Amino acid sequence: MTETMLFQKIVKAMQSIRQEMKQVHGDLNIPDIYFEETRKDDGSHCLMPLVALKTIPCGWLRAGGGCTMCGYQLVASLDRIPTEKNIIKQTEYTIRTVPSKIYPLITFSTAGSFLDTRELSDELRPKLLKMLADSGYKEFNFESRPEFLLNHERLSQLKEYFDTVSVGMGLESKNNLIRNVCVNKGTMLKTYELAAEALQKHNIYYDAYVLVGKPFLTATEDIEDTLKTVQYAFDLGFGRIFLMLCNIQPSTLTYCLYKKGKFEIPMLWSAIEIIKRLPAKDRSRVYIKGFNRAVPMPMELPQNCEKCNIQVMDKLIHWNLTGDFKHIENLPICNCIDQFKERLAVIADNPLKERIEQFLDGFTPESICNEA
């Protein structure tokens, strides 16, 4: 089976899994807001609000079933289309709730792509940007798939309102089979490369999300793929890399596989191992995410064992805030490292492509997604 055929099959599989998606009815005038402690370029820290506007869901989730681990449907509005008025009210709510005087740096996005005109029209987007700029926010961060970052008019519009703009893109893996079949990302590397070029022209910083804990991969394959992807992203000019430890969200392939015992959430040791193996010059620009909170709040989070979870998470938090390797290299070893070593020693019986083929050949939503 060719990679294209596998891709078509994973899209079909994801589309059938997504039929189970349930709407979480929330107030269409209130966005989801949560906070993250962030390290700034000068080494200082600040608390940054992350605002996820309730719009229609990500276009890729609607068209191609979305990424195999993504639970962003819980943040978006599935069955009611928010009006322009709703979204303006969400922005007013943001300005009231997370005032710019306290939070000059803001992540303000949709649960998809801020520059996708189906989520926010070209008429509405500048109104929101103006509201935020007039309210005094100094730095603007948003999220987008790469194909929406090729439009020069929209990119320059962002800079009309904010001097400092940055965007986070889900890259997940540089390997096409892994990115487009294991993760069902539906993107081409060429598009990231073109997006990088366009963003550089507009002096917009860009960061990458890379998934750790990709389905169908052994722990060792996963770590090696992550290291290659980080290298590729830095070569392409990505400023920061956020390693997203895979968690479990409903109506996802990872959830179905997890229930059947065919997918393991990565242990925190995976993140530690990756940081240790990164070249020293690049390390401090690699952050670990998704282990203590994520939006929407996952059903299961990555962990080690009860004895060391808090301590290892604490070290990862300090790592994110300081980029100081001593937090990682001086980590006391717990007995659960043996479990991690066992995972690392697993060698797959057959090549990745064959593993995926076998799974997709036998796939029906009933066979994989029903309760065990």
Query: Which residues bind to Zn ion, rule: CB under 5 A?
Result: 304-305, 307-308, 334, 336
Q: How far is the CB of 66 from ligand SF4 (least distance, A)?
A: 3
Please report whether residue 302 would count as binding ligand SF4 according to CB under 6 A: no
Verify binding: residue 70, ligand SF4, rule CB under 6 A. yes
* Cβ 278 vs Cβ 286: under 8 Å: yes
CA distance between the termini of the chain: 29
Contacts of 316 (CB under 8 A, 6+ apart): 268, 271, 272, 288, 291, 292, 327
d(CA 210, CA 169): 9
Neighbouring residues of 128: CB distance < 8 A, sequence distance ≥ 6? 87, 88, 91, 108, 120
Of positions 28, 51, 52, 61, contacts ligand SF4 by CB under 6 A: 61
70 contact choice in ligand SF4, Zn ion, none (CB below 5 to 8 Å, kind-dependent): ligand SF4
**Do the bridges between strand 139-143 and strand 105-110 make them parallel or antiparallel, or are there none, so unpaired?**
parallel
Pairing status of strand 205-212 against strand 45-53:
unpaired
The reply to whether 167 sits near ligand SF4 by the rule CB under 6 A is no
Asked if 66 interacts with ligand SF4 (CB under 6 A), we say: yes
Least CB distance from residue 276 to ligand SF4, whole Å? 27
Task: Select from Zn ion, ligand SF4, none the partner in contact with residue 60, using the beta carbon and a kind-dependent cut-off of 5 to 8 Å.
Answer: ligand SF4
Residue 47's DSSP bridge partners are 37
Number of residues assigned to the chain: 372
* Residue with smaller CB distance to ligand SF4, 20 or 324: 20
Residues 6+ apart with CB under 8 A from 361: none
302, 292 contact by CB (below 8 A): no
Tell me which of 58, 105, 120, 182 binds ligand SF4, using CB under 6 A.
Answer: 58
Candidate residues 18, 145, 154, 289; the one interacting with ligand SF4 per rule CB under 6 A? 145
Work out whether 263 is an interface residue with ligand SF4 (CB under 6 A).
Answer: no
Rounded to whole angstroms, the Cα distance separating 177 from 174 reads 9
Least separation in angstroms between CB 175 and ligand SF4: 17
- Relative to beta strand 164-170, strand 286-289 is unpaired
Q: Which does 303 bind (CB under 5 to 8 A by kind): Zn ion, ligand SF4, none?
A: none
The residue range among 28-36, 57-65, 130-138, 351-359 that interacts with ligand SF4, by the rule CB under 6 A, is 57-65
- By beta-carbon proximity to ligand SF4, the closer residue of 147 and 273 is 147
Tell me whether residue 233 or residue 328 sits nearer to ligand SF4 (CB atom).
Answer: 233
**Cβ-based nearer residue to ligand SF4, 18 or 283:** 18
Residue 262 CB neighbour total at 10 angstroms: 14
Amino acid at position 266, single letter: P
- Site of interaction with ligand SF4 (CB under 6 A): 58, 60-61, 66-67, 70, 72, 112, 145, 170
